[in-house]
A and B are shown apart, each in its own frame.
Chain A
Amino acid sequence: MTALGHILRRREAGIALMIVIFCLAVGAYKPQFLTLDSARIILLLTPLIMIGAMGQMLVILARHVDLSMGSMMALAAMASGMMFRYAPDIWWPLGFVLSIGVGMALGLVNGLLVTVFRLPAIIVTLGTLNLYRGLTFIMSDAKQIDRQYVPSALKAMSQTSPILGIPWIIFMSFGVALLTWWFVMHTRLGRQIYALGSNPVAAPLRGIDVTRVTLIVFAISGALSGLAGIMYASRWGFVNPSNTGSGFEFQVIAAVVIGGVSINGGVGTVLGTVLGVLLLGCVAAALPLLGIPGTTQNAIYGSVILAALLIDRLVRLQGQRSMLKGARI
């Protein structure tokens, strides 16, 4: 197989192609979609999902799922927001520390429930999805953290940076993606996540500490949700107990699945997930431009996910058929 053929056969090529076709199609109708300005809009829509998607990818690779991400994000952001409200003069980067710390603790709780009590992750995180959201309401007394309490230095991170004026949070999200790539491809622990998801029964026979690996992926998922939480405060300038992180987990899971991460574990790449996030970002940016009302957004999101999965399945079936033909000759 030629090098080019090898690249084209990869799952990521299919998603990249979908992005290009989608952008060209929208661009043909609304040329302003194909400008730098609109690229900026797309990128600004994606950092939170990107960071969440990295955490979710690790969990799904290990053949689990984390439905509680949005609630962990809200609770972590609320903790930092309240800290800023009570201590306005506090050194603002502490918000990151607190948010990530809270997120990691919540993720560990998920992990402990899954490992110690051997409960299915989908049920555990469905429970904590509601529990953590409820705790956010209780803790905040159902009150929003308003703009004036969020430190302006924090808000500025989402506005600009010295590098081409591209906001810091975009760099951060790609930084997290790069770090995740290094982690899953080049560390022993990262490979153990793939092995666990690929064959959970055999994993202990090969000396993999299944409990430890599972705890770690849920803790990372929580920590990254926490990071997304503080970035939410930066991006939107407020934290709301009801809106913040609402539906986040579904966007994230959508991005991961579109990116070719197998829900059965063991299969998926960071590049694919990044492309999945970008495809979702393109769709989100195109909707208002095309004059599609916000009310139809969910329906369109859902359709995009199903379309991406269908196209992928068709491409794969085609590939298998041509392989079978080759085998017969």
Chain B
Amino acid sequence: MSATVPTPILAAPILSARGISKQFAGIEVLGDVDLDLMPGEIHALLGENGAGKSTFAKIVAGVHRPTRGTLALNGQSVEVTSPIVAQRLGITLIHQEPISFPDLSVAENLVLGLQDGGSLSRVPWGKMERDARRLMDLLGVDIDVTRTMRGLSIADQQMVEIARALASDSRLIIMDEPTAPLTPREVATLFAIARRLRDEGRTIVFISHRLEEVRDLCDRVTIFRDGAKVATDSIANLTDADIIRLMIGRPLKEYMHKVGTTIGEVALQVTGLGRAGLFRDISFSVRGGEIVGLGGLVGAGRTDVARALFGVAPADTGRIKVNGREVRVTGPAQAIRLGLAFVPEDRAQAGIFRSLSVEHNISAAVPGRIAPQGIIRRSLEKALAQQSVAKLSIRLATLRQPIGELSGGNQQKAILARWLLTDPQVLILDEPTRGIDIGVKAEFYDMIGQLAADGRAILLISSELPELLALCDRVLVMAEGQLTAELPRGVATQETIMQAAVPRNTAREVAA
């Protein structure tokens, strides 16, 4: 250590990160993060989606290797090359959806990978189950350790992971958004345990979106924005407004906005839409020529609403009107006939047919137009695809190229092209610019504006606030499955959207 300035440190940090950077495919997602974690503290990592907090946590836990930078544990430089190495060093990462082997017993899940000994060494069932029971008692949770993991609630699976951290005597326990899938009562249990572990001198890193939880639980907080650390401070020194400002305080980028479109009739009207466990009481409307944003945090239920509208996972309750006519959307095929189109969030999984050509991908939603008599006419298909490629300036080598070879932006354009061929009245875009280069993004904004100008109704789901602010006539905000705000252009700001997006009721419910 080259400590030129003597610092009055009361306790030495358990973990010191210096200059931690990470690139994925040449894109820097984390840059030069310095962070000290102290023993006996609960330290929150806060930031918008994609700010880099989870990436940082995964580097500490050996899931990712840093591109640059060093980690020191108790002053010793360490290479955390894998999760197993992390575990041996006493670092445990608890995923939001815990890793588990559903067919093995709780006790086995608890010790798997922690035991020493050769392949044919005996499995000490008795001792294993006794130890597991002891750890569960220590945590004060009532889980039968002989049952299988399958069917255990997420909360209980998290408890097993925490017990596992104790079994390896982890001094640093990282919880990645543990509370998102939990009920208020389960959150209270989790917090009580986290506090106890802190009081034993362990360090808890708590990643969350929920400000009130962070305030309730954590001692210090580090805020990430755009892949960099922007602040570390004691939670008592920061107001909610400070934190939100630090989280979103990047300079607003200049985006093109659509010019003077005429707003038409209501094209999509939704009343009291609900689906058990996902969202409820969703009512809104979108007019022709209007762009309505749907903001909120990941997991707030925005995508579930979109999937319900498109009939992928239909709603249980509520009514949908398209062009003033009440409809029941039972599946995507019917949604297409009604004039709906949906560009899904997860392009790789739900958007493209990876191994099929660009041409087939573009024509996939309009079989009738390329096969008038039920037999595909290659010339028609080719002509349609060529028009689309020219119109949206999709960059590709040939139409026969598998779409998987295109860049993310061009894949997304091809998917948009597919849906435009169905001439939709209502276009639902779910995070359409995620993972797309800045330059192509601007093209997309132009396109979306143009589509609205053509009189289509557009519902734009986005986690990027500047995008919502620049493009939308109105912004709806969801939190925990419900609409929490409807903000017209001018009223919507980063602050008002974030305030509506951060769940407020959790802490109250716990207290009640």
- The reply to whether B103 and A187 contact each other, CB–CB distance below 8 Å, is no
**Also in contact, A206 and B102, with CB within 8 A (given A185-B123, A187-B121):** no
| Contact A202–B123 (Cβ < 8 Å) | no
A18 sits at the interface (CB 8 A): no
Within residues 202 to 237 of chain A, which ones have a CB less than 8 A from any CB in chain B? 202-203, 205-208
| Residue B9 is within 8 A (CB to CB) of chain A in the complex | no
Asked whether, in the complex, the Cβ of A206 is within 8 Å of the Cβ of B113, the reply is yes
Question: Do A191 and B104 have beta carbons less than 8 Å apart?
Answer: yes
Is A187 in contact with B120, judged by CB distance below 8 angstroms?
A: yes
B255 at the binding interface (Cβ < 8 Å): no
Which residues on the A side are within 8 Å of B104 (C-beta)?
191, 194-195, 198, 266
Closest A residue, CB atoms, query B116: A188
A191 contacts which chain B residues (CB < 8 A)?
104, 108, 112, 123
Question: Please, what's the 1-or-0 string for B84-125, where 1 marks a CB less than 8 Å from any CB in chain A?
Answer: 100000000000000111111000100011010111111101
Q: Nearest Cβ distance between residue B147 and chain A, in whole angstroms?
A: 11
Name the residue on B nearest A209 (C-beta).
B119
Note all chain B residues with C-beta closer than 8 A to A188.
115, 117-123
A187, closest chain B residue (CB): B120
**A199 close to B (CB within 8 Å):** yes
**Which residues in window 466-504 of B have CB below 8 A to A?**
none
Contact B108 A266 (CB under 8 A): no
Q: Would you call A135 an interface residue if the criterion is a C-beta within 8 Å of the partner chain's C-beta atoms?
A: no
Contact B102 A199 (CB under 8 A): yes
> A188-B119, A188-B123, A191-B108 are known contacts. Are A199 and B101 too (CB-CB below 8 A)?
yes
Majority secondary structure of chain A interface residues (helix, strand, loop or mixed): helix
> How distant is A191 from chain B, measured CB to nearest CB, in Å?
6
- Checking B83, B102, B113, B123 against A187 with a beta-carbon cut-off of 8 angstroms, the contacting residue is B123
The answer to whether B102 and A189 touch across the interface, beta carbons within 8 angstroms, is no
Residues in A whose Cβ lies below 8 Å from that of B83: 205
Beta-carbon contact of A195 and B121 below 8 Å: no
- Chain B interface SS verdict (over half): loop
Residue B113 contacts which of A186, A207, A262 (CB distance < 8 angstroms)? Answer: A207
Kindly list chain A residues whose C-beta atoms are within 8 Å of the C-beta of B121.
187-188
- Residue contact A266 to B118, C-beta cutoff 8 Å: no
- Does A105 belong to the interface (CB within 8 Å)? no
Q: Which A residues lie within 8 Å of B112 (CB)?
A: 191, 195, 206, 208
> Is the pair A198, B101 in contact by a Cβ cutoff of 8 Å?
yes
A233-249 interface (Cβ within 8 A of B): none
In the complex, what distance in Å separates the CA atom of A206 from the CA atom of B87? 10
Contacts of A195 in B (CB 8 A): 101, 104, 108, 112
Identity of the chain B residue whose Cβ is nearest the Cβ of A61 in the assembled complex: B103
Contact B123 A198 (CB under 8 A): no
What is the 8 Å Cβ interface bit string for chain A, positions 154-196, against chain B (1 contact, 0 not)? Answer: 0000000000000000000000000000000111111110110
Is A194's CB under 8 angstroms from B118's CB? no
Q: A109 interface residue, CB < 8 Å from B?
A: no
Give the distance to chain A from B62, nearest Cβ to Cβ, in Å.
Answer: 9
Q: Which residues of A contact B120 (CB under 8 A)?
A: 187-189
Q: In the complex, A266→B104 CA distance in Å?
A: 8
Whole-angstrom CA separation of A111 from B238 in the bound complex: 58
A113 is an interface residue with CB less than 8 A from chain B: no
A266 to B148: give the CA distance in the assembly, Å.
Answer: 11
CA distance A207 to B119 in the complex (A): 12
| Measured CA separation A197–B104 after assembly (Å) | 10
Q: Is A41 an interface residue (CB 8 A)?
A: no
Which A residues lie within 8 Å of B101 (CB)? 194-195, 198-199, 202-203, 206, 266
- Closest A-chain residue to B85, C-beta based? A207
1/0 per residue, CB under 8 A from A, across B331-364: the answer is 0000000000000000000000000000000000
Give the contacting residue for A207; candidates B84, B118, B123; CB below 8 A.
B84
In angstroms, Cα B103 to Cα A203, docked, is 13
Instruction: Please give me the residue from chain A that is nearest to B87 by CB atom.
Output: A207
Query: Considering the chains assembled together, what is the distance between the CA atoms of A195 and B101 in angstroms?
Result: 6
Tell me how far the C-beta of A206 lies from the nearest C-beta in chain B, rounded to whole angstroms: 4
B84, B117, B118: the one contacting A206 at CB < 8 Å is: B84
* CB closest residue in chain B, given A205: B83
Q: Is A267 interfacial (CB 8 A cutoff)? A: yes
Q: A187-B121, A188-B117 are in contact. Are A199 and B84 (CB under 8 A)?
A: no
Q: Chain B contacts of A206 at CB under 8 A?
A: 84, 99, 101, 112-113
A179, B347: Cα distance in complex, Å: 49
With A188-B115, A188-B117, A195-B112 known as contacts, the answer to whether A202 contacts B122 (CB < 8 A) is: no
Contacts A188-B115, A188-B118, A191-B104 hold; do A205 and B99 have CB atoms under 8 A apart?
Answer: yes
A194: chain B residues within 8 A (beta carbon): 101, 103-104
Interface string of B243-254 (1 = CB under 8 A from A): 000000000000
Chain A residue contacts of B82, Cβ below 8 A = 205
Query: Distance in Å from the Cβ of A186 to the closest Cβ of chain B?
Result: 5
In the assembly, what is the distance between CA of A188 and CA of B108, in Å?
10
Min C-beta distance of A24 to chain B, whole Å: 33
Cα separation A266 to B121 with both chains bound (whole Å): 20
Query: Chain B's nearest CB lies how many Å from the CB of A114?
Result: 19
Complex Cα gap A198–B103 (Å): 6
Residues of chain B from 42 to 95 with CB closer than 8 A to chain A in the complex? 82-84
B117 proximity list for chain A (CB < 8 A): 188
Given contacts A206-B101, A207-B113, 9 further A-B contacts (CB under 8 A): A186-B125, A187-B121, A188-B118, A189-B120, A191-B123, A195-B108, A198-B102, A205-B113, A206-B112
Give 25 pairs: A residue, B residue, CB < 8 Å, sorted on A: A186-B122, A186-B123, A187-B121, A188-B117, A188-B118, A188-B119, A188-B121, A189-B120, A191-B112, A195-B101, A195-B104, A195-B108, A195-B112, A198-B101, A198-B104, A199-B99, A199-B101, A202-B101, A203-B101, A205-B82, A206-B99, A207-B84, A266-B102, A266-B104, A267-B103
Which A residues lie at the B interface, using CB under 8 A? 185-192, 194-195, 197-199, 202-203, 205-208, 262, 266-267
